[in-house]
A and B are shown apart, each in its own frame.
Chain A
Amino acid sequence: MGIKVALVGNPNSGKTTLFNGLTGSNQYVGNWPGVTVEKKSGKYVLDKWEADIIDLPGIYSLSTISLEEEVTSKFVIEKNMDVIINIVDASNLERNLFLTHQLLETDIPIVIALNCMDIIEKRNHKLNVTKLEQLLGVPVIAITASKKKGLLELMHHVQHAAGNIRTVAHHYDEATESSIDRLSAITNDRFLAYRYFEDGLQGLAGIKIDPKMVEVLALIRADEAKRFSLDIDMILPNQRYDRILAICKDVLKKPDYEKESMTDRIDKVLTNRWLGLPIFALIMFSVFFMAFGPVGSWVTDGFVWAISQFFGWISSGIETLGMAPWVSNLIENGIFGGLTSVVGFLPQLAILFLFLSLLEDSGYMSRAAFLMDRVMRRFGLSGKSFIPMLLGFGCSVPAMASTRTLDRDEDRKITTMIIPFMSCGAKAPIYAIFAGALFPNSSYVVVFSMYVLGIVVAILSAVLFKKTIFKGSSANYLMELPEYRIPTVKNAILHTWDRVKAFLIKAGTVLLSAFIIIWFLSYFGFVDGTFRLLQDTELEFSLLGYFGKFILPVFHPIGFNDWRAAVAILTGFVAKESVVGTLGILYGVSGNVVENGSLLFANIRAAFTPAQAYAFMAFALLGAPCIAALSAMSKELHSRKWFVFTVAYEMIVAYAVAFLFYQLGSLSLGDLLSTLFAVAMILLVFASIRRIIKSKGRTCGSCAKCVIKGTCHSPEREEK
């Protein structure tokens, strides 16, 4: 076992870059129990000396406001490491040194890694590192994390620092330090005394202390608070910043005249009052166009062609081996067929990830959240939720993965739960055949209404969750806009590969077993009393077919009178594309129905009324998503309970909405009337949402009538 070295620093200060630089290819990503966020740990070896490097979520302060941040602050407060490497972004020295000063209150050895010195030089600023080291009293090493410069020197200092208990300097004025003296007589730890003085019980992050001591501590804190004119929670921060300002004056020399920075100039356009939103729409459209438009589908087609050739080649090889027919059928239809349908997403996924990580690296994503916050707040979410929801129109899988960029666990959960309602690309063929067959004159309106329906249900659900399950919690918004950076292709590709790899592993494990089960259900059945392998055209006799007929009564209230519809919906759980494919098989239509839906029009027209068709589309849209999305969802929700709840919720909503459309739609006959009716329904729902939101509207962040001075004691804060 090596020593434990934790990387602590502000978000976006280059921690992960440093982590990757230090651990190289030895790193592994591990979920640690009890937390919803990924902590990474990896090994660093220098000669015979070994260190476990731990990459923690970025924090601005040890006083936390989210679960993710608590992971880090708890780690520090429990002193779970031998050495802290505090990464400081030199281009943002003032604010970064705030956390440094909190860390300096511990007795853990600290080594400061000063990153982003290149930006300082570019700005013509001069930073005196030696002097900074003197003033802080701990080693300060200038590094360039992205170029792996200075890492060896950094680790030499870490090696040297390990095991030496640091003496904590008394940085505050006499009055403050004497208060701390009183508290630390009880806590027996000066660091905990500082934490308690600053944040009360919350500052101890769940460290167990004697309940009697809690009372004593609270009395002392209240008593001491009277001695200061400032609110008690402001005393330490104010003095820290005073000291930081003095330090910065000493070590940082700026030119008298500063020219407008690149970031300023770019933002004049990108967050411009008039241009900001159109440019945002254009950028998002381009990303979608690349992933799901001609380029994406061209790459996808090529990719799918290549893998089906490859699989076909293997299949024909297997056939010559003369294995049992069910074995080759399993391989061909079950495994290869299933994998092709899922792995077919891969090129689009990769393109999407690539562009998004380029946007993320450049710093544009925070601007997008800044632009959209006003809209998203109406639904109790923050601007950062917009991107994942938008991605949902392409594919739920990357959309759910991108919820990790959200700050708070509640926001991530809600966003993940409503993403499946966004009509993804794979659902489009379903609308195409039903709307084309039954609403020939208004198919565009009908298809569009499905998209609107998805959005409306998503928004209503978000508001509903906010009002019930996540009561009292409102998405906070306080966000730094980082300097624009030119994104590196290498980093973007690494990022993309990481996610693609995770997807492939999943496809090869969880999804593969699901495909085999579904294959078994659809290719085996009883024909004339014997249980045997079925032909493609005999799906009716399969176990799945029987099951479809068996549960058909459940679907009667929502308008499914044909077992084929039930079976088609069921196969949709593998991939939504297969809904149409299955209908093609069941109606005995030859040819590619997914690409040429009109082949199915006659059969659909014979089997469905417009109201039934509309209900079918609504159910396909809102019901539980495909297996790939389900497994992404279970991964992001991190909890079986939430996962089951979400799936059940989606099924119930889908059923209820389809029921409503079918029952009410059946009252009036005819194409036009039911279309009109659907539009009217949507308008009605819209109007009611407006009312709900207007009555809710304001988030707690305002606290307009709140008279409490000092620490806020709203229920949400007390919970933590």
Chain B
Amino acid sequence: MTLKDIRPGEKCIITSINSNNLRKRIIDMGLTTGTSILVKKTAPLGDPMEILVRGYFLTLRKAEARTIEVERTGVFA
């Protein structure tokens, strides 16, 4: 399962990050393995998506989200 499959309001944990143009930057922005992510929403046109990670809001395209392997952990109250 990848970050792209997580619906708004759901939480997940990163298991690994596959190769993409922004891989190192994504890692440096705090998306390391084991990090917990809350998916906030997708933009009105369906892409990019907004996530809450390490206490701040980050937006990324689904193209990159697809390369981030995650495990769903639950729904945010």
Q: In the complex, A533 Cα to B24 Cα: how many Å?
A: 67
Q: Are B30 and A271 in contact (CB under 8 A)?
A: no
Known: A238-B32, A701-B64. A712 touches B46 (CB 8 A): no
Q: Are B20 and A702 in contact (CB under 8 A)?
A: yes
Shortest CB-to-CB span from A466 to chain B, Å, is 15
Known: A273-B41, A481-B58. A95 touches B64 (CB 8 A): no
Q: Are B32 and A477 in contact (CB under 8 A)?
A: no
Shortest CB-to-CB span from B20 to chain A, Å, is 5
Residues B47-74 near A (CB distance < 8 A): 47-48, 50, 54-61, 63-64, 66-67
A254 nearest in chain B by CB position: B55
Task: Report chain B residues within 8 Å CB of A165.
Answer: none
- Selected from B20, B35, B58, the residue in CB contact (under 8 A) with A712 is B20
Task: Report chain A residues within 8 Å CB of B25.
Answer: 60-61, 63, 65, 478
B18 nearest in chain A by CB position: A709
Pairs A–B under 8 Å by Cβ, sample size 26: A60-B25, A61-B28, A93-B55, A94-B30, A94-B56, A241-B35, A263-B57, A271-B43, A370-B50, A373-B48, A383-B48, A476-B22, A478-B29, A478-B58, A478-B60, A478-B64, A481-B50, A481-B57, A701-B21, A701-B61, A702-B20, A702-B67, A703-B19, A703-B67, A709-B18, A717-B21
Shortest CB-to-CB span from A382 to chain B, Å, is 9
Q: Are B57 and A60 in contact (CB under 8 A)?
A: no
Q: In the complex, A277 Cα to B61 Cα: how many Å?
A: 18
Residues B1-55 near A (CB distance < 8 A): 17-30, 32-33, 35, 41, 43-48, 50, 54-55
Known: A237-B27, A238-B32, A481-B57. A370 touches B21 (CB 8 A): no
Task: Report chain A residues within 8 Å CB of B30.
Answer: 94-95, 98, 241
Q: Are A702 and B63 in contact (CB under 8 A)?
A: yes
- Does A409 sit at the interface, judged by CB under 8 A? no
Q: Are A709 and B44 in contact (CB under 8 A)?
A: no
Q: Are A701 and B20 in contact (CB under 8 A)?
A: yes
B51 nearest in chain A by CB position: A481
Q: Are A477 and B67 in contact (CB under 8 A)?
A: no
A481 nearest in chain B by CB position: B57
Task: Report chain B residues within 8 Å CB of A383.
Answer: 48
Q: Are A374 and B32 in contact (CB under 8 A)?
A: no
Shortest CB-to-CB span from A372 to chain B, Å, is 8
Shortest CB-to-CB span from A188 to chain B, Å, is 25
Q: In the complex, A160 Cα to B27 Cα: how many Å?
A: 35
Shortest CB-to-CB span from B77 to chain A, Å, is 11
Task: Report chain A residues within 8 Å CB of B23.
Answer: 233, 711-712
Count of chain B residues with a beta carbon within 8 Å of a chain A beta carbon:
37
A99 nearest in chain B by CB position: B28
Task: Report chain A residues within 8 Å CB of B17.
Answer: 234
Task: Report chain A residues within 8 Å CB of B27.
Answer: 233-234, 237
- Does A704 sit at the interface, judged by CB under 8 A? yes
Shortest CB-to-CB span from B27 to chain A, Å, is 5
Q: In the complex, A271 Cα to B19 Cα: how many Å?
A: 30
Task: Report chain A residues within 8 Å CB of B64.
Answer: 478, 701-702
Q: Are A714 and B54 in contact (CB under 8 A)?
A: no
Q: In the complex, A712 Cα to B48 Cα: how many Å?
A: 22
Please give the residue numbers on chain B whose beta carbons come within 8 Å of chain A beta carbons, in ascending order: 17-30, 32-33, 35, 41, 43-48, 50, 54-61, 63-64, 66-67
- Does A274 sit at the interface, judged by CB under 8 A? yes
Q: In the complex, A698 Cα to B28 Cα: how many Å?
A: 25
- Does A92 sit at the interface, judged by CB under 8 A? yes
Task: Report chain B residues within 8 Å CB of A477.
Answer: 48, 59-61
- Which of B21, B26, B61, B67 has the most chain A CB within a 10 Å cutoff? B21
Q: In the complex, A710 Cα to B20 Cα: how many Å?
A: 9
Task: Report chain B residues within 8 Å CB of A95.
Answer: 29-30, 54-56
Task: Report chain A residues within 8 Å CB of B26.
Answer: 478
Q: In the complex, A476 Cα to B32 Cα: how many Å?
A: 20
Q: Are A371 and B43 in contact (CB under 8 A)?
A: yes
Q: Are A476 and B21 in contact (CB under 8 A)?
A: yes
Q: In the complex, A92 Cα to B55 Cα: how many Å?
A: 7
A709 nearest in chain B by CB position: B19
Q: In the complex, A199 Cα to B27 Cα: how many Å?
A: 12
- Which of A375, A476, A699, A710 has the most chain B CB within a 10 Å cutoff? A476
Q: Are A712 and B43 in contact (CB under 8 A)?
A: no
Shortest CB-to-CB span from A264 to chain B, Å, is 9
Residues A213-249 near B (CB distance < 8 A): 230, 233-234, 237-238, 241
Given known contacts A233-B23, A238-B33, A478-B25, what 20 new A-B pairs fall within 8 Å (CB)? A60-B29, A61-B24, A61-B28, A94-B30, A95-B29, A241-B32, A263-B57, A271-B41, A276-B43, A377-B61, A477-B61, A479-B59, A479-B60, A701-B21, A701-B61, A701-B64, A708-B19, A711-B23, A712-B19, A712-B20
Residues A311-356 near B (CB distance < 8 A): none
Q: Are A234 and B32 in contact (CB under 8 A)?
A: yes
Q: In the complex, A366 Cα to B59 Cα: how many Å?
A: 10
Q: In the complex, A271 Cα to B43 Cα: how many Å?
A: 7
Known: A95-B30, A373-B48. A480 touches B58 (CB 8 A): yes
Task: Report chain B residues within 8 Å CB of A199.
Answer: 24
Q: In the complex, A96 Cα to B41 Cα: how many Å?
A: 24
Q: Are A370 and B43 in contact (CB under 8 A)?
A: yes
Q: Are A481 and B22 in contact (CB under 8 A)?
A: no
Task: Report chain B residues within 8 Å CB of A701.
Answer: 20-22, 61, 63-64
Q: Mark A522-547, 1 if CB is under 8 A from B, else 0.
A: 00000000000000000000000000
Task: Report chain B residues within 8 Å CB of A517.
Answer: none
Q: In the complex, A703 Cα to B47 Cα: how many Å?
A: 17
- Does A716 sit at the interface, judged by CB under 8 A? yes
Q: Are B29 and A716 in contact (CB under 8 A)?
A: no
